[in-house]
Amino acid sequence: MIKAVFFDIDGTLVDFETRTLSDSTKKALDALQANGIKRIVCTGRPISHLSFLPDAFYHYPFDGYVTYSGQICCDEKKKIFYKNTWRKESIRRAVSWILEKDVLCSVGLLDRTFDTKVNTYRISYLTEMNKLHLLPKVEDPRLHMDEDIFQMSPYIPASQDQAFLDYVGHVKGARWGGRFMDVFPDTGGKANGMDQMLAYFGLSLEQTMAFGDGGNDIEMLEHAHIGIAMGNADPQVKSHADMVTDSIHEDGIYKALKHFEII
């Protein structure tokens, strides 16, 4: 029996254009709560970015939050109970690579993010995603090499992904768009974040379901007992799911939960 459902945010819970939860998704989430099923966010976003989401999402009651692609897990009050950080030697190698190649990279700290530079590519991406308000400050990454870093997102072509990962060491990456790669410790990832959350609630993997649409959701969909790709997901993501539901615009979450008689 399903006891916990994990949800990606962008393109799954929240529409890219309207930035809101649909009425059918709210109805589905309410039904899960009424049935005693945990509703858990599982996102590549940092905790600090959750506050930028629409009120309809931010004030909606979830039972837990897996953030930074599994590197920070929080309870329903957003109190942290698990953290997984980069190795210091990996940070130094990443910063060296980024500066040498003059690459734009977003760096995730505990309470905020910063960019190593600004360029039109970054601005056009945030504008396209209706997220220009999230444009971070520009800072020198060398000033933060001794701090806890949870995620880095270098804006590099996919053809350079493996070279970056191999050079840095002890990290892995995932893409949910074509512009950048989210990079985090090789001990982490959304699957690890799910395991930490299940241990916190005393649940098993066999009691889980997950919804996602992006490349960084593949690990989560494969790890869950039932992994469901949204109809608007990339074809590659759909190939890793147990089921493909309708798109976020067509009540995909609600329909899938009804299909499996979870609600």
Count of structural domains, the chain: 2
50 vs 59, which has greater pLDDT?
Answer: 50
In this structure, are 173 and 93 located in the same domain?
Answer: yes
Mean pLDDT of the chain: 91
Strands 105-108 and 151-154: antiparallel
Pair 151, 69: CB distance under 8 Å: yes
pLDDT tier, 133 (very low <50, low <70, confident <90, very high otherwise): low
Q: Does 128 score more than 70 pLDDT?
A: no
In this structure, are 78 and 194 located in the same domain?
Answer: yes
Q: Does 103 score more than 60 pLDDT?
A: yes
CATH code for the domain in which residue 144 is found: 3.30.1240.10
Tell me the pTM.
0.92
Last residue of a domain, one of 185, 216, 241: 185
In this structure, are 238 and 180 located in the same domain?
Answer: no
The pLDDT value recorded for residue 118 is 79
In this structure, are 203 and 128 located in the same domain?
Answer: no
Q: What does the pLDDT look like over 194-224, one tens digit per residue?
A: 999 999 999 999 999 999 999 999 999 999 9
In this structure, are 50 and 179 located in the same domain?
Answer: no
Q: Does 48 score more than 90 pLDDT?
A: no
Instruction: Compute the residue count for the chain.
Output: 263
In this structure, are 179 and 205 located in the same domain?
Answer: no
In this structure, are 180 and 193 located in the same domain?
Answer: no
Last residue of a domain, one of 133, 158, 185: 185
Pair 218, 173: CB distance under 8 Å: no
R_g over Cα of the chain: 18
Last residue of a domain, one of 185, 209, 243: 185
Q: Give the whole-angstrom CA distance, residue 3 versus residue 224.
A: 12
Q: Give the whole-angstrom CA distance, residue 221 versus residue 126.
A: 26
In this structure, are 179 and 197 located in the same domain?
Answer: no
For residue 24, the enclosing domain spans 4-83+189-259
Per-position b or e across 215-246, b if 16+ CB within 10 A of its CB:
bbbbbbbebbebbbbbbbbbeebbebbeebbe
Which 8-state DSSP code applies to residue 24?
A: H
SS3 call for 65: strand
